[in-house]
Structure 1
Amino acid sequence: MTAVALLSTAVACSSTDGPPSVTVPTPTARETALCRALHKELPKTLAELARSDPRPRSELTAGWGDGAIVLRCGVPRPERMSDPQAQGVEANGVNWMLEERDSGPRFTTTYRETYVEVTMDERFTHDSTPLAALAAPVEETIPSSL
């Protein structure tokens, strides 16, 4: 019984809080260079959330608020982008395709030389403020494909 109690205590003390784990994209060398430039320009805070990059650490990913907002650069073109009914938003000159999910919205840049994906938790379902804050770094580092 003591071993079970000890194991239960160890499990209870281990924390899953902190940055989430995400899949790191595998873009081309050119896209990777663009993503590295973007990574250097990303803000330390976003929507009043502190920078908290996901695991594993990569110049292709960034995060704020322990997973509340996660950015992945160099992602593949989403299938949904071919859908003429796909919804889009514009934030400070950058166009994003919107995918509504139960866990919160996912946005992917459109008309850029590489795709940048931003997932947000449900508190941002009707708030594109983080996209507006990310527009300048995206505009500066990820050229338009038009």
Structure 2
Amino acid sequence: MPRSSPGRPIALTALLVLPAVLAACGGPVEVEVPRLSTADRAACAAFAADLPDTLADEERVEIEPDDAPAAAYGDPAIVVRCGVAKPEGFDLTASCESADGVGYYIPDEQYDDQDLDLTLTAAGYSPRVEVTIPARYRPNAGPAAMSVLAPLVKQHLTLVDDCD
């Protein structure tokens, strides 16, 4: 009869626990919390409460502060924030990418350079929603995020100016 090694249960336990420990090493993703009016705070809270468990095939991860109107997905994190300021370079002549009827402003320099992080902003809505996507997830995560978030943007936020 084969003898078992006394170290095997410990080694097996270490292998089972190690992924959880490694996942926790990064800690929560820190997000900036904007100053919002009472109405915008309520809209952003409703929007954030409806954000999905996965975005662009990435699982949702913890954020800090945990009550921020935001969510993060994956590592490095794709971050969705509600209540952001008007993006630099956005004006009424800016062009936007549309997904399911929601226009997202993308800074010009990010269109063609797939090595840059991507910032999408539903700039025609109030309050505004911003999605930052690390370059590693390009080119597919941008369109995936836009289409998943579009119904939530339309449901919880107010269209102020079309961004086409």
Q: Secondary structure at the match of 1:140?
A: helix
Give the equivalent residue in structure 1 for 2:99. 91
Relative to the length of structure 1, the TM-score reads: 0.78
Matched, 1:57 2:72: no
**Alpha carbons 1:20, 1:66 under 8 Å: kept:** no
Corresponding residue number in structure 1 for 2:48: 39
Task: Write the letter of the residue equivalent to 1:98.
Answer: I
* Partner Cα separation in structure 2 for residue 103 and residue 38 of structure 1: 27
Corresponding position: 1:138 with 2:158: no
Relative to structure 1, the CA distance from residue 60 to residue 79 in structure 2 (aligned partners, 3 Å threshold; closer, same or farther) is: same
Query: After the TM superposition, which residues 13-28 of structure 1 pair with which residues of structure 2 at under 5 Å, given as runs?
Result: 17-28=26-37
| Cα distance in 1, alignment partners of residues 95 and 137 from structure 2 | 16
Q: Is the 8 A contact 2:33 2:68 kept in 1?
A: no
Q: Is the 8 A contact 1:105 1:122 kept in 2?
A: yes
- Tell me the CA shift for residue 61 of structure 1: 1.3
Alpha-carbon contact 2:86-2:123 (below 8 Å) kept: no
Give the AA of the match of 2:101: G
SS of structure 2 residue aligned to 1:82: coil
Quote the offset at 1:20 in angstroms.
Answer: 2.2
Residue aligning to 1:123: 136
Cα offset, 1:67, TM superposition: 4.2
Give the aligned CA root-mean-square deviation in angstroms: 2.3
In structure 1, distance between residues paired with 2:77 and 2:117: 9
What's the CA shift for 1:109?
0.5
The alpha carbon displacement at 1:83 in A equals 7.6
Q: How many residues align?
A: 132
- Contact kept in structure 2, 1:31 and 1:113, CA below 8 Å: yes
For structure 1, the 5+ residue unaligned runs are 1-12
CA drift of 1:125 comes to 3.0
TM-score using structure 2 length: 0.70
Question: CA offset at residue 16 of structure 1?
Answer: 5.2
Letter of the 1:96 partner, please give it.
Answer: Y
Partner of 2:8: none
SS across alignment from 2:90: helix
Task: Please identify the structure whose Cα radius of gyration is greater.
Answer: 2
Q: Distance in 2 between matches of 1:112 and 1:87?
A: 15
| C-alpha displacement of 1:66 | 3.8
CA contact (8 A) 1:98 1:107 kept: yes
Following superposition, the deviation at residue 65 of structure 1 comes to: 1.0
Unaligned runs of 5+ in 2: 1-21
* Structure-2 change in CA distance of 1:53 and 1:143 (3 Å): farther
